[in-house]
Amino acid sequence: MKKEVVIGLEVHIQLMTNAKMFCHCSTDYIGKEPNTNTCPVCLGLPGSLPVLNKKVLEFATRTALALNCKINQISKFHRKNYFYPDLPKAYQISQYDLPLGVNGYMEISLPESEEKRKIGITRVHIEEDAGKLIHEGDINSSSYSLIDYNRCGIPLAEIVTEPDFCSPEEARIFLVKLRSIVQHLGVCDGNMEEGSLRCDANVSVRDAKSGALGTKAEIKNMNSFKAVKKALQFEVNRQKKLLNEGEKVIQETRHWDESENITISMRSKEEAHDYRYFPEPDLLPLQVDLKMIEEIRKSLPELPEARKERFIKDYQIPEYDVEILTSSKALGDYYEKASSLYANTKILSNWIMGELIRYLNEKKIEIEDSPISPDNLVEMLKLIDKGVISGKMAKGVFEKMFKTGKGASQIVKESGITQITDKGELFEVIDKVINENPKSIDDFNEGKEKALNYLVGQVMRYTKGRAKPDFVFEAIKQRIKKI
């Protein structure tokens, strides 16, 4: 029986406001002493009252508008009740039946098709984050957990999609684009590893013929784009196997175990009624008037889709390149800066997408912290253009630039790795190689052109790669003819 994959995503983004959602505490908590960014409000002490940070509303509205949502002029806060040590109030202030934004969509481009796919956005709502549990000690004997409330009350926007994804790859492409959008909006830094962009997924498999939806499992704890794809693929395969063997899929929450590459059952999936949602009595309904919505709409910056089109038009580079270069705001900024200094935009994109991204990924460095600045990269490309170094030598120079953060000219000067431009010096080496290899000369004279490649190789070896191979090739040819 043919099976279809149905995936929906729930994405939490941390909104980059200075203060928390309902109090004045700072949101700058990474690396801070635990429990220092707290106050009676975010610790949920009795008698404290929440006051909404207006920036949270503005940032969430920007996000919802960029995702083509309708903004509800009146939306409400609800209490989502559950007990867990990282949630001191024993409820989370969230939104329930009247969220801020509804009925939006985002278009994604799939690599193998010309057509764009429209992914429905069910809702965008705002809620506060919980604290963080840190588990210490040996799990069997002396284990204990510490609680850090610094994250408690950090504002989040939750973006819920329709179950419109037909494959794990589509979900991954959506997430990459969503991250780029929220970065361009300036509402979230999109750092998945640090948890400022978190993704849960609902996965089910259905019979293609009847179309009846299958039972879904919710997958949590995927903290990279790669993990999302791997986890969803594992889950799809697991469910297909169960169904093929005549077994049932259980509705549950499953945890992605990155080290084992499997999803593990955590608990049976809770339903909305388990949370006893009820209206938050300490906060009035949220009002966003039309004027504010229009002001925010007008202030939206250029988003990745528009930037993509501009890149194709202005820089005349292939769509494949543009897709990668606009996949994060900082990468797009890097490319634009470099392009303003260097005319050959395709060569630039080759170096950025090839060497630069490879080194950054290897060292797990973000483009914002790249040891090679756009100016440095361009300086190196100009040295190639002037013939000071060859394209091949440039790779070594690039590696040194990346490791030391030094400029290209400085590295070339310090290591003396310029190309040999002095012809006298070069001919000395060429003559030496010709004299040492009479057999190759004979071979060439008998019509074996390939024999020359060996001689060129020898010259490159003696000069430690500092000669221009095409020049050497021609020079040897001329020399032999004269012999």
Site residues (CB under 5 A) for Zn ion?
A: 23, 25, 39, 41-42
Partners of 158 in the beta sheet? 12, 125
CA distance 304 to 296: 18
What does the CA dihedral 98, 103, 106, 112 come to, rounded to 10 degrees? 130
CA distance 377 to 249: 53
Nearer to Zn ion, 42 or 64 (CB): 42
Q: Nearest distance from residue 76's CB to Zn ion, in Å?
A: 22
CA distance 32 to 150: 8
Nearer to Zn ion, 154 or 171 (CB): 154
Q: Phi, psi at residue 351, to the nearest 5°?
A: -65, -40
Q: Nearest distance from residue 31's CB to Zn ion, in Å?
A: 18
Tokens of 133: 């549990």
DSSP letter string, 66-89 = HTTPEEPSEE--EEEE---TT-TT
Nearer to Zn ion, 50 or 99 (CB): 50
Nearer to Zn ion, 53 or 349 (CB): 53
Given CA atoms 386, 391, 397, 401 in this order, what sign does their dihedral have? positive
Tokens 């980059």 belong to 16
CA distance 401 to 371: 7
Judge residue 119's burial from the number of C-beta atoms within 10 Å of its C-beta, 0-12 exposed, 13-18 middle, 19 or more buried: buried
Nearer to Zn ion, 39 or 110 (CB): 39
Nearer to Zn ion, 23 or 455 (CB): 23
Q: Nearest distance from residue 29's CB to Zn ion, in Å?
A: 11
Tokens 């996000």 belong to 63
Q: Nearest distance from residue 182's CB to Zn ion, in Å?
A: 24
Structural element, H or E, at residue 442? helix 438-445
Q: Nearest distance from residue 43's CB to Zn ion, in Å?
A: 7
Question: What region does 68 belong to: left with phi over 0, alpha with psi -120 to 50, or beta?
Answer: left
Nearer to Zn ion, 42 or 67 (CB): 42
- What are the Cα distances from residue 411, in Å, to 41, 255, 286, 293, 402? 55, 48, 59, 53, 11
Q: Nearest distance from residue 24's CB to Zn ion, in Å?
A: 7
Nearer to Zn ion, 22 or 471 (CB): 22
Nearer to Zn ion, 25 or 388 (CB): 25
Nearer to Zn ion, 53 or 94 (CB): 53
Q: Nearest distance from residue 44's CB to Zn ion, in Å?
A: 10
Q: Return the CA Rg of the chain.
A: 30
451-462 and 423-436 helices cross at what angle (nearest 10)?
Answer: 130
Nearer to Zn ion, 25 or 100 (CB): 25
Structural element, H or E, at residue 292? helix 290-298
Partners of 92 in the beta sheet? 80
